[in-house]
Amino acid sequence: MKREEQLFWKFGKDFPKGTILFREGDLGQEMFIIQKGKVQVRKRVGSTERVLAELSEGEFFGEMALLMGMDRSATVEVIEDSKILVVRPDTFESLLKSNLDIALKMLKKMASRLRALDEHFETALLAAQKEYK
């Protein structure tokens, strides 16, 4: 049995299209790793809900709730039938220890997200400076 099949057998779950995995503001302790399929990440901005991202195979989400015990910062809906690993706190450490490549991918992706956020803030600050002048 391949490593991916072993992981799915141990942590995986099938989610049909239309499933809401969690809603913004929910308490949560799991993170999710997409093995197959696609999800949409949405966030309330004022009175409207905006799509932040569509995530697919190999991508993960929900790590802030797992690592920091934070409320969910967005709503995530399955938009294509999906196979997703559901990682709880008690299995997170063992998953990372036994799968170095997953740990490295997560670190790289988190660094990439931080970089994108920095660039977004820089752009917003420059725009605000121009308006202020």
Q: How high is the pLDDT of residue 103?
A: 78
Predicted confidence band of residue 29 (pLDDT cuts 50, 70, 90): confident
SS3 77: strand
pLDDT (mean) for 26-52:
93
pLDDT (mean) for 106-131:
81
d(CA 47, CA 84): 30
For 4-19, write each residue's pLDDT tens digit. Answer: 666 656 778 999 999 9
User: How many residues are there in the chain?
Assistant: 133
pTM of the predicted structure, to 2 decimals: 0.77
Q: How high is the pLDDT of residue 34?
A: 94
Per the CB < 8 A criterion, the answer to whether 61 and 32 are in contact is yes
**Backbone dihedral angles phi then psi of residue 96, each to the nearest 5 degrees:** -70, -40
